[in-house]
Amino acid sequence: MAHETEPIISAFADDPEMADLVELFTEELPKRIESIESAFESQSWDSLRTIAHQLKGAAPSYGFDSIGQAAGTVEHRVKDGPDAESLRGDVEALLSLCRRAAAGSGGNC
């Protein structure tokens, strides 16, 4: 599916009050992507849950609803009893959305 690699633009991209904040958020996304990857690889479930939890709360407020939902799914799954194999798909989905949002910021500059 082609659209799954397209950059995602914040719903608040045109809000002058938010522009700087959205930029800061997307600039920091690569760092979050890294920390999600490393938490998942090292099976540090507590930190994965924390990162997912924060993204779930924050992303929608920066205009990235889909990231918020995906992060919520990951958080939920980790809470239910983490298992690397069943989590992989959800973590990949979240990472993919984050990468697309990070790419969207580059295109905006």
Smallest gap from Cβ 97 to other proteins, in A, equals 16
Alpha-carbon Rg for the chain in angstroms = 14
**Residue bearing tokens 């205009």:** 63
- Are the C-beta atoms of residues 29 and 98 closer than 8 Å to each other? yes
Smallest gap from Cβ 58 to other proteins, in A, equals 3
Give the phi and the psi of residue 70 in degrees, each rounded to 5: -65, -40
C-beta of 21 vs 103, nearer to other proteins: 21
Contact set with other proteins (CB under 8 A)? 17-18, 20-21, 24-25, 50, 53-54, 56-63, 65, 68
Smallest gap from Cβ 83 to other proteins, in A, equals 21
Smallest gap from Cβ 29 to other proteins, in A, equals 11
Burial class (CB in 10 A: 0-12, 13-18, 19+), 77: buried
C-beta of 22 vs 91, nearer to other proteins: 22
CA 67, CA 82: separation in Å to the nearest integer?
20
C-beta of 5 vs 14, nearer to other proteins: 14
